[in-house]
Amino acid sequence: MSGRWGEELTDFEQYTAEYSPELTRFCIKLCVNVEDAEDLFQDTWTRAFEKFEQYRPEYNFKNWLFAICANIFKNSKKEKYNSTKAIFNSNEEKERFMRSIPGAQKDIDEYLDLQAAILSLPKKHRVVLVLYYYKEFSQREIAEILDIPEGTVKSRLNTAKKLLKRRFTYE
């Protein structure tokens, strides 16, 4: 693969080009707002670049990259990527925007409720849920990414589903 001026791109540049869109979506699913997702995205690539010499090609790069991202997210001591800042000035502004999307009227309330419920989950449950349902990693892959036993992944998924079910069960 050639770069802009004809030089060969490094493996890291190729990985960046290939995995940036998917990493962006992952960061957005984990974070409360776009600004925090952008910070997480940048921090992930910075850490990946710093540690790239340690990457072993026999290991799946996507799993390695998502492990870095998930670890940065869950180890954030100041809740840097989980702040309550809103993307919009108010919930009303956000709802007005969401409702302005043509053809999506009937799904907006369910989407907003689900997003709020997912964002309210504890980090350890949210990360597993997003990796499994939105990124479609297997439970074994998630265990490798997070460096936890597969049984812990199953337990956290189960707990996340119970918490979501409890939120959406009305009596």
- pLDDT tens string 132-159: 988 889 999 999 999 999 999 999 999 9
Model's pTM, two decimal places?
0.60
**Spatial distance between the Cα atoms of 1 and 54, rounded to a whole number of angstroms:** 23
pLDDT digits (tens, 9 = 90+) for 90-143: 667 666 666 665 555 556 667 777 778 888 899 999 999 989 988 889 999 999
Residue type, 105: Q
Backbone φ and ψ of 8, nearest 5°: -75, 140
Token pair recorded at residue 26: 């992952």
**Spatial distance between the Cα atoms of 98 and 107, rounded to a whole number of angstroms:** 10
Structural domains in the chain, CATH included, are: 1-87 (1.10.1740.10), 91-115 (no CATH), 121-171 (1.10.10.10)
